[in-house]
Each structure stands twice: as C-alpha cells, then as structure tokens.
Structure 1
Amino acid sequence: MKTINKKNNQITFTLEADESLANAIRRYVDQIPILAVDEVEISKNDSPLYDETVAHRIGMIPLKMDKTIDEKSVEQLTLVAKKDGVIYSEELKGRVSPVYDKIPITVLKKGQELEILATAKVGKGSTHSKFSPGLMFYRNSVKVKIDKDCPKEVVNVCPQKILVLDNGKVAVIDEEKCDMCEACVDFCKKVGKDSIELIPSKELIITVESFGQISEDEIFKRAIAVLKDDLKEFAKKISK
C-alpha cells in the first residue's frame, strides 16, 4: 500500500487487491452509521423558500461527529434568525455543529424571521444520501509500454500530461495518473503505428473522499469493519 496524494478531505493510494473486494468495500461506505438531521420543526419561516425546501437543505448539511456519537444518539440543533441577508449553516446551534459554516440555507429581508428546531439521528447512506460520509472510487493501475518508434507528437495528445520527450524519445512520468483514456493509443493508430500499449496491473488506485463528518482514513477503516461484521453474521447463519 502506497499513498499517492492526501489533501482536502481526500486520499489516493495504491493497493494490490481484487476488484470484487474493492467494490464491496466501496458499497459498504454507505453502511457506516452517520449523524444527520432527520426531523425539522419550523415555527416561523418568512423566507421565500417553502418549509420543505428549507428542511431538505438543513438535512443535507454534514454534521461533525465525535467519539460520543453512537447508533442510538439523538442531537438537537436550533436556528433563530432575524437578520437581513443570507442565512448560513453556522446559524445552527447545538452540542454538535455543521462541518462547514458557510452552506447557504435561505435568505431573509428586514423584518423577516426564521425559527427552526432540528433533530439529528444516526442512519446509513443506503437509506438516504444525507447519512453518507463520503465517496470511494477506484481504477486499475496501468503500465504504459512505449516502443522506440513512437511518434513524438503524441506527447501533446495525453490529457493527463504524463508523456514527455526524454533525449528525443517519448517517455512516461507519473504513471499513476494514467486513466486509460487511450488518446495516445488512438493517435498512434491514426498515423499507422502501434507504438503504445496500456497494460492494466493487479494493483488498484483507490480514492476516498470525505464529506467531513469523519476523516477519509476512518471511512475506509470503518467500511472494512462493517463488512467484516456482516460477513461474520452471514457465516454464522449458513453454518447452522
């Protein structure tokens, strides 16, 4: 396992694993218990948006999770606003707080009010996307094989800019960035040559992106943990 990049709630790494296993882990990202607003009680809403729209926007705001949050946790947040201007997620007050402060909820004009009581519960992304902690996706790592007679003009074709000229010959850099678009292969074929071959390897390039409730590292670890628990339960049932 090798980390390629880690920044802005996202990590990309290589892992030698079967695609079916990687896909199972990817699907289990939405089986991780996550806190999100599930019920909204609106006492006043003078904004131009319908109650349902305001409630939906609040429900989709990711909330910070600490170690005290478990599957039975219930948290309440209040929002009382009378100001003129945009009402942001930072206006939600409670023991838990939004991951991002500047998510717009609605707009108020002078004299208008908004009063809300929101109840947050723990759920899973498989039932609603508001409970999703993030995304995971993967692709095959690729070995780029280049012949000596490869046309030099091909370096301008690659959208990932991983082909360069080295002492007058075409070479590859940052091979991990190759997404197998085959633009280079198609270009070579158009000029009558099979100079480049893209060979998928057994290694996968996996990217995990967090929406902020938990870290990207935790998403990957917890998805594996939940998958293991379900497999153990399944094994018990079929052994009876």
Structure 2
Amino acid sequence: MTGVTWVSRSGPEIQVEVAPELALFVPHARRAGVSALAVDGVSTLGHVIESLGVPLTEVGALVVDGREVPVGHIPADGERVDVRAVVRPQRVPGGEPRFLLDVHLGTLARRLRLLGVDAAYSSTDLGDAVLASRSAAERRVLLSRDRGLLRRRELWAGAYVYSTRPEEQVDDVLGRFAPALRPWTRCTACNGVLVAATKDEVVGQLKGGTERSYDVFARCGECGRAYWKGAHHERLRAIVDRAVASGEGRVG
C-alpha cells in the first residue's frame, strides 16, 4: 500500500499509512512522506483518523500490526496502522440501500430517482442535525460532500460523494452501493412511486399539444405530478441507458 504518513517531535508515536483513495482528505501540509504520528494513549484510533481529516464513513478497515481492530481501539506506542478504503460494493444492513442527500446534491438526487433508486432530498437546507437524525430514523445512507456532516455520531450510515460532476456522482454511488435500478418508476420531484394513469386523470396538467400528441401517462402516487415521454425524454433516456450499461447497479 502507498499512502500518506505523518511525523511528531516527542511522546508516543504510531506509524500510519492511508490508502491512496483516501489521501485527498489529508491536508497538503501533512503529505510529507514521513510515517510517525503522535498519540496520547487515550484517544481512540477512530478519533485519531478523523483528526487527520478522513471521515470514518470512508474507512473500510483499520489494520494494526497485521490484525483488524475496531475504531474504538486505543493505539499504543510503536504500532503500525494501515487505514484501508471501503470495499466496493459496500453492503448496508437490511439489504437494499436507501439514500438521503444534502441540499447541495439536488441533481444527483433527481438522477437517482430517475433510475428508480430511493433518494430522499429537500431543496431547503435542513441543517446537519436534522439530516443526521433523519438518516438514523429512516435508516438511510447520507450522501454528502461535507466532511463535518459525515462525522456526526447519530448518522446511521454515510458516504462521501467524491466528484462535483453529476455523471461521475451517479457512477460513484452505483459503483459503491450497487442499488437495484428500476428506471422510470419514481417521481424525480418528490421521490414518490409512479403509477399508470389515463389521460383523463392527468388532463389538467397537460397543455394542448401534449394532450393531442401523447396517450401514455404515469402519475406520482405522492404529489400527483404527471409524466409522459415528452421533449426531454431522449436526454433522460441517455442518462438511464448509461447507468444500466455501466453494470454498476442491479437492474430489477
């Protein structure tokens, strides 16, 4: 393993090596290539790793002198620690993952919903405490680029979104969690489940040209929004086809 390590000047020290995938979380000033890190004999290894900037949501295993240890391990002088990345695909308790996205990931939320993935999202900034509590109450994986949010102890599960590009964000989430893909089954506006609808049931939402040109409709069972294969369908279909062709998610 290659990675990033640190040095201290006095007191107990451990040798720390971080997986290359996690090096981006470490401040540049600490990317000096040396391997010693001061410890106090009281703080847990999880706390030590977080103090370096690495969210524990991104850590797959902590290996001390060749044996895997929990985040509550108290590091002792002279120990060697390998910080490994999450193994993909990552499984979550209960089987099928459900997601909760912070206010900055609206495009990702809509694209996950387009793919039929359960993705809760609010365009209103609910605050870190509310998001973390909702993650726990609804057993949802919180997706965020906010490292501080991902460090909240009440989180049920979380994951850092590594890219700022929506296409790459989708690839990242699908590759990490391999959720079941059921395209065209969720409302992109509210995450509700779509049901077949007749033209008469949605006619109030249709303009003249749409009413004359289309006969197949769906409607959200939660918010009532109507859907049909309109002018943007080919663009949306390209997003769906790309995700399905990647093989990262499970079509079902």
* TM-score for both structures, normalised by structure 2: 0.23
Larger radius of gyration: 1
Identify the structure with bigger relative contact order (alpha carbons < 8 Å, sequence gap 6+): 1
Q: Which structure has greater helix proportion?
A: 2
* TM-score for both structures, normalised by structure 1: 0.24
